[in-house]
Amino acid sequence: MVHNEQTIEKDNRKNSEPVSDQEQMPDSEPMPDQNLAQTGTQTLQPASPGRILWGFLAQYRFTAIMFMLFGVIFMGVFSLYDLETEAVIYAALLCLLTACLILGARFRAYYKKHRRLEQIRQNIEVIQEELPPPANLMERDLEEIIADLWHVNQRDRNAWLAQRQDSIDYYTAWVHQIKAPIAVMKLILQGQDTEENKELLSELFRIEQYTEMVLCYFRLDSASSDFVIRSCDLDGIIRQAIRKFAPQFVRKRIRLVYDPTQVQVLTDEKWLLFIVEQILSNALKYTETGAITIRVDEQKVLYITDTGIGIAPEDLPRIFEKGFTGYNGRADKKSTGLGLYLCKKTADKLSHRLSAVSEAGRGTTIQVDLHAETLEIE
């Protein structure tokens, strides 16, 4: 076991505190065609042959009604003149048989075309190039409408991407510019080792981390991949987080219990570090006395346990929802429920599984299952 108060004091000046779930990031807007594509794939359910046949026959219902109406008229006329009605019935049966043969051939083509359209729906982004040739004027008009809508969607999508990139560039420049005055203020406050300066340094570093959080928020929703998947030393990632939180452990007199591990995990080091830091930030925020324990089992599951106020049973299933604060957040009046939401979103992108176990008044355990099966080593 490692009781890190001495190690923490040693690294006090080198470390910082990550962002807790108190700050609200601006909502990222979905890509204009993203919801359309997702909707098409999520609601797509292949129709049964019986349903396809019913839809095909429904197209000819008016023709069938007219055919029966004409047959009734002929039979009425023949009966008025006392003519044999068997001829009308015989002709009607022959026409019906011929219609069944023709409709059977047309249904085969209709069935193939329907299946082809279902395949296109599964890859809706290439709809303009993959649509089958129109069979009549109305289908041609519909395809032209679809093509026009596709061009409008592409125009809006390109405008949205340009606007989003401008926002990312602006925030990136802003973060780099704001770091200079933050560094100057930090040096000034470090000049005198007073309790007031320590508190100011803690708050100043929170500001620095919040600026970095803006970029992380945008990058998570970015179309381009910011992930570098490789085999990483989990112990090194955990120790980076511990060193960053060292001043907070010392200031709040919280004991840290950590048993070093030799586990290698397939992940992105930067983003897994972000998850660990965020969980530690929440643990420190809601723990006034006691200890925070970090351990890793043989199944590559990371456990971070605190002895804080815990989570109410009715709030536990929703703690990873965006904007959900629960009882603790409403009591704190500053929490926005964004921290654990970003952790869950990041974990999902890394194919890690995030879960929580908690008991109100006794503490919380956050579990990060790092056994990933679908990631690829770069």
pLDDT tens digits, residue range 32-70? 444 444 443 444 466 677 777 777 777 777 777 887 788
- Token readout for 331 is 């009591």
* Chain position carrying tokens 């409709």: 103
Range of 54-58, 190-194, 224-228, 269-273 with top mean pLDDT: 269-273
- Give the predicted TM-score (pTM) of the model: 0.63
Express as a percent the part of the chain with pLDDT over 70: 79
* Chain position carrying tokens 């962002």: 19
Cβ contacts of 282 within 8 Å, gap of 6 or more: 20, 21, 339, 340, 366
Do 18 and 277 touch, CB atoms closer than 8 A?
Answer: yes
The three-class DSSP label of residue 170 is: helix
pLDDT of residue 49: 72
pLDDT at 238 over 90: yes
- Token readout for 75 is 């039979």
Question: Residue 220 phi/psi, 5° resolution?
Answer: -65, -35
Identity of residue 216: C
